[in-house]
């Protein structure tokens, strides 16, 4: 324990009065550091805890204000100056102080004025100080970690959500809001059902069981893909990853944390790639492999359906006379005709070159023939250029039709339709032949 002689009678009483022996022992053994100064700031007493943690200038005239606190800390210098000048009676704060090793450490400081019972005049300033340096180091490390985590998530454009089952409250990070067009200060309904109502109707029932299982703790790390309505009305694709991180003693989930990523652009690329893989690049009709899947599905089903094979008549002279650009134009126009008259009642594909195929879901053979005739007439009316009359043979299409039956495979069905088309060409082109 440090004792510094004081001139006043009160100081002597504090230091040497017998009635204070027990109190002094209690204070000396207290876990929190305590120092007592005169109103001039000169230290008259420090307990053991204070001396273990902090370093003071031991000269008789040294003020608590000099050397103990960081001189650049204007807040504590100003606050203690007010206390010693009698303008304030107390102060609390967290500040850098000189530690036992001489380096500055963080401490929680509580300052109060002790007055004379007789006169009411201020006699001492009592300073209680406890090191919080370790806590500050942990806070700093956490802040650094959080800033890195925040930067990584924001840079990756991932929104964070945090659901508390205790309170039902949800936390949404700024990026979570930005990707949905929600302002940072807007209050978002915490109810999980309100979120599900923003999910696309086609996805809502699909993801609801997974959400329920996660809420019950029946599954751990969960990944969902769904569409959610943006504030401006359109839908965005979300990749959501969530994981329970806190449970009660009965194993019930108390808290779930997750990240959301806007994958709309990826979904658009995925859709374009899927379309490119299943469609002819020129006409944008289904390609042969994709069309085969449609036919095989029809063959496996109970409904009646028909397969048409279409081969353009006198197409080569168009390429020869007008060039391949004109030929491509004709093929694109044929595709337009098929889309107009066949879809969505069936499927249409470019099989190769100037050959097309059509799948019609229809039980009436007569109606199928009428559709084929309508298509043939529309194709024959396609404008192929402005050549003098007689320079090109009549342009048109030959059509072969077969009824699909059980036990037939795609290859057999297509071969039979091709044979019917060949029969139409032999009969003079521009004809329709339907085989039983």
Task: Name all domains of the chain by residue range, CATH numbers in brackets.
Answer: 2-132 (3.30.450.20), 156-267 (3.30.450.20), 279-435 (3.30.70.270)
pLDDT band at 373 (very low <50, low <70, confident <90, very high): very high
Pairing of strands 306-313, 90-98: unpaired
Task: State how far the Cα of 246 lies from the Cα of 167, in Å rounded to an integer.
Answer: 13
Residue 364 per-residue DSSP state: -
Please tell me the total number of residues recorded for the chain in this structure.
436
pLDDT band at 389 (very low <50, low <70, confident <90, very high): very low
**In the predicted model, what is the mean pLDDT of the chain?**
86
Q: Which structure tokens are listed for 375?
A: 């298509």
pLDDT average, residue stretch 348-362: 94
pLDDT above 50 for 12: no
Residue in 10, 311, 354, 418 annotated catalytic: 354
Q: Which structure tokens are listed for 194?
A: 């309100």
SS3 41: coil
If one counts every other C-beta atom within 10 angstroms of the C-beta of residue 64, the result is: 23
pLDDT above 50 for 273: yes
Pairing of strands 396-403, 432-435: parallel
Phi, psi torsion values for 363, nearest 5 degrees: -85, -15
CB 162 within 8 A of CB 253: no
Highest mean pLDDT (candidates 78-87, 312-321, 420-429) = 420-429
391 is catalytic: no
Closest by CA position to 350, among listed 392, 385, 318, 315: 315
Task: State how far the Cα of 2 lies from the Cα of 21, in Å rounded to an integer.
Answer: 15
Task: State how far the Cα of 337 lies from the Cα of 331, in Å rounded to an integer.
Answer: 10
SS3 119: coil
pLDDT above 60 for 6: no
116-161 pLDDT, tens per residue?
888 888 999 999 999 999 888 888 878 777 766 666 667 667 888 9
């Amino acid at each position: 324990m440090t004792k510094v002689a004081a001139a006043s009678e009160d100081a002597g009483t504090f230091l040497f009065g017998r009635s204070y022996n027990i109190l002094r022992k209690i204070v000396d053994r207290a876990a929190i550091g305590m120092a007592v100064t005169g109103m001039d700031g000169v230290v008259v007493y420090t307990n053991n805890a204070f001396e273990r943690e902090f370093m003071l200038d031991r000269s008789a005239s040294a003020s608590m204000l000099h050397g103990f606190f960081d001189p650049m800390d204007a807040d504590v210098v100003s606050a203690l100056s007010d206390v010693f000048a009698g303008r304030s009676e107390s102060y609390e704060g967290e500040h850098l102080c000189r530690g036992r090793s001489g380096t500055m450490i963080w401490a929680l400081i509580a300052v109060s004025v002790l007055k004379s019972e007789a006169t009411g005049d201020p006699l001492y300033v009592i300073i209680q100080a406890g090191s919080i340096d370790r806590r500050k180091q942990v806070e700093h490390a956490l802040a650094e970690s959080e800033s890195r985590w925040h930067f990584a998530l924001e840079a990756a454009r991932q929104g964070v959500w945090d659901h508390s089952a205790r309170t039902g409250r949800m936390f949404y990070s700024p990026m979570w809001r930005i990707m949905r067009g929600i302002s940072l200060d807007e209050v978002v309904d915490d109810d999980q059902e309100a979120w599900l109502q923003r999910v696309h109707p086609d996805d809502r029932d699909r993801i609801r069981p997974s959400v329920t299982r996660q809420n019950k703790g029946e599954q751990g790390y969960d990944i969902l893909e769904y569409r959610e309505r943006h504030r401006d009305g359109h839908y965005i694709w979300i990749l959501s990853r969530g994981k329970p991180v806190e449970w009660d003693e009965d194993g019930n989930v108390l808290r779930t944390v997750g990240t959301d990523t806007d994958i709309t652009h990826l979904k658009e690329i995925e859709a374009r790639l899927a379309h490119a893989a299943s469609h002819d690049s020129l006409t944008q009709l289904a390609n042969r492999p994709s069309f085969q899947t449609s036919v095989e599905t029809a063959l496996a089903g109970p409904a009646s359906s028909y397969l048409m094979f279409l081969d353009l008549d006198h197409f080569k002279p168009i390429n020869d006379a007008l060039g391949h650009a004109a030929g491509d134009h004709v093929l694109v126009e044929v595709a337009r005709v098929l889309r107009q008259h066949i879809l969505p009642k069936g499927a249409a594909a470019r099989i190769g070159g100037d050959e097309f195929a059509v799948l019609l879901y229809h039980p009436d053979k007569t109606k199928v023939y009428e559709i084929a005739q309508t298509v043939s007439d529309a194709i024959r009316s396609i404008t192929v250029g402005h050549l003098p009359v007689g320079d090109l043979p009549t342009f048109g299409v030959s059509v072969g039709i077969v009824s699909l039956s059980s036990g037939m495979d795609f290859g057999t069905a297509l071969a039979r339709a091709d044979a019917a088309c060949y029969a139409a060409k032999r009969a003079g082109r521009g004809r329709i032949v339907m085989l039983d």
